[in-house]
Structure 1
């Protein structure tokens, strides 16, 4: 449809249906029950972007790069300690460049039983790449993570959830189990491609359940962290309670250089402690959750 009008109101029905049909939500995959008769699934995830945010923007500022390095030096150790203290697994999504900068971190996280997932090459925006580049970068990223973690990744989260018109075909070519970039539901669902079921599980994130939208700070812009940690904790807790009441999934996205600060890691600790007071909660990696949903859909 290269000759499509630039004016959406002039698009034909086949044109707008084709656009809407890419990566469409298909059948719900919420299971009748979670493992062990649990009522709710909790899937914690950490996007270990580290220095790749300024690098992606061709920003060579040592100050900006140091903000990312904080994720490696302080954020990840605090997160790993918290997960160990509560004896729960999580999923860590790594840009390949971040993994190459901190290979021992990747090995350590994987060695503790946490999942390593694909998260771009250098946190690039897929929708801004020339044709064919996204595929090359994604395949290379998977190779890097496999080499460092000792296991081929089975899931992907596109950087900034920037799922392009080519992403679906790349995921299918790679035979991945799941994606975690799209937002059509609160719970898992099967991805459709052009009206056809793909067998790929979507584990939907949401900006509401992401630490960065509340805490990000960019000096030379109006972006400021206006939300107090206590307010973010209240929002996350309400999202969990909703998932628990419905018997669904609570998927939380965090970033080591954001959540890893002293005042913020404390809110995560309190949140996890609260969740653990609820009977029938299953803490799972994204892979574990995706496999269970795929195999046990109601």
Structure 2
């Protein structure tokens, strides 16, 4: 997801005349078809975490930078500078903070961001972090034809691989959106995991029309994303509405609950959002709070997906289904 980015509407309903028919008039086959197209399947929480940890912490950063205005055809130096802050200032601050805590993280980066800032992309990988696909130019994939969506994601994989020398194994779709063709595209392009959906607190297997896919989902949530709290756009109603320390309290509560459950605390941030001084303070205090527990496993999303994938080999039982 990204700052200054609003969730785009989903694709028009397909099947019969559902596209021109009010949803309350849809036949049952239509609304059931939509709700079963992409769903959460088997939970993939392990019985124990590596290093004897009680809980896992998966930090992620969407390095969107200038791609949000560029995607929308906005070329104002002011709007571009707002994104440039993430590359010029925010990313470096974030990396130094992660080094202080020895915490690996995942950076989902649009290919255009990587082309604009190749040294930054290489630095992520060079310092032991993961780089993942986040679209070509943070495009709105629900507005694309299936072939165009596939082409852009494939180009993004190729670009990130060429720049960093590391082929991404995970994807976070721009704006966390799924079109009718997104899941099949992700499967066809060989990704190990996705991190765009919200059906659980813990990793799970993605199911397509009732069929398990083998794709691991590391779920996200708006309450664990910095952009909804801190986004500012002076030409519309998007305004920061939460004090940074209130966000810290929310995130601490999220972590504490995950720790009690022996589960996963996943967080999504943006260098050009969290990287500002007063906001980086709360990330530092959050990491202090997490690190004080001792028995916590900091993992990249790829490492977490690997542990989750191991659960696919377990025999199913009533305890492993919901």
**TM > 0.5 between the two?**
yes
Residues 1:226 and 2:209 are matched in the alignment: no
Alpha-carbon separation, structure 2, partners of 1:223 and 1:2? 35
Alpha-carbon separation, structure 1, partners of 2:180 and 2:233? 29
| Alignment-derived partner of residue 307 in structure 2 | 292
| Alignment-derived partner of residue 75 in structure 1 | 90
Structure 1: which 5+ residue stretches go unaligned? none
Of 14, 22, 27, the match for 2:42? 27
Could you tell me how far 1:279 is from its partner in structure 2? Answer: 3.0
| Alignment-derived partner of residue 263 in structure 2 | 248
Residues 1:156 and 2:171 are matched in the alignment: yes
Instruction: Report if aligned partners of 1:32, 1:296 keep a CA contact under 8 Å in 2.
Output: no
Of 192, 195, 204, the match for 1:189? 204
Alpha-carbon separation, structure 2, partners of 1:9 and 1:228? 40
Alpha-carbon separation, structure 1, partners of 2:33 and 2:190? 23
Local SS of the residue matching 2:251:
helix
Instruction: Report if aligned partners of 1:155, 1:287 keep a CA contact under 8 Å in 2.
Output: yes
Structure 2: which 5+ residue stretches go unaligned? 1-13, 313-319
Residues 17-166 of structure 1: pairs in structure 2 closer than 5 A:
17-166=32-181
Alpha-carbon separation, structure 2, partners of 1:143 and 1:22? 29
Could you tell me how far 1:17 is from its partner in structure 2? Answer: 1.9
Could you tell me how far 1:280 is from its partner in structure 2? Answer: 1.4
Alpha-carbon separation, structure 1, partners of 2:17 and 2:46? 41
Residues 1:3 and 2:23 are matched in the alignment: no
Local SS of the residue matching 2:37:
coil
Could you tell me how far 1:15 is from its partner in structure 2? Answer: 2.0
Could you tell me how far 1:165 is from its partner in structure 2? Answer: 1.1
Alpha-carbon separation, structure 2, partners of 1:274 and 1:19? 41
Q: RMSD between aligned alpha carbons?
A: 1.1
Could you tell me how far 1:211 is from its partner in structure 2? Answer: 0.3
Instruction: Report if aligned partners of 1:39, 1:244 keep a CA contact under 8 Å in 2.
Output: yes
Task: Describe the superposition over 1:214-253 as per-residue Cα deviations: whole angstroms up to 9, x where unpaired.
Answer: 0000011121112111111111101000100111000000
Local SS of the residue matching 1:132:
helix
Could you tell me how far 1:2 is from its partner in structure 2? Answer: 4.3
Alpha-carbon separation, structure 1, partners of 2:270 and 2:304? 20
Task: Describe the superposition over 1:257-288 as per-residue Cα deviations: whole angstroms up to 9, x where unpaired.
Answer: 00000001111011001100013100000000
| Alignment-derived partner of residue 251 in structure 2 | 236
Task: Describe the superposition over 1:120-150 as per-residue Cα deviations: whole angstroms up to 9, x where unpaired.
Answer: 1111111111342111100000100111111
Number of matched residues?
298
Alpha-carbon separation, structure 2, partners of 1:42 and 1:166? 30
Of 298, 303, 308, the match for 1:283? 298
| Alignment-derived partner of residue 29 in structure 2 | 14
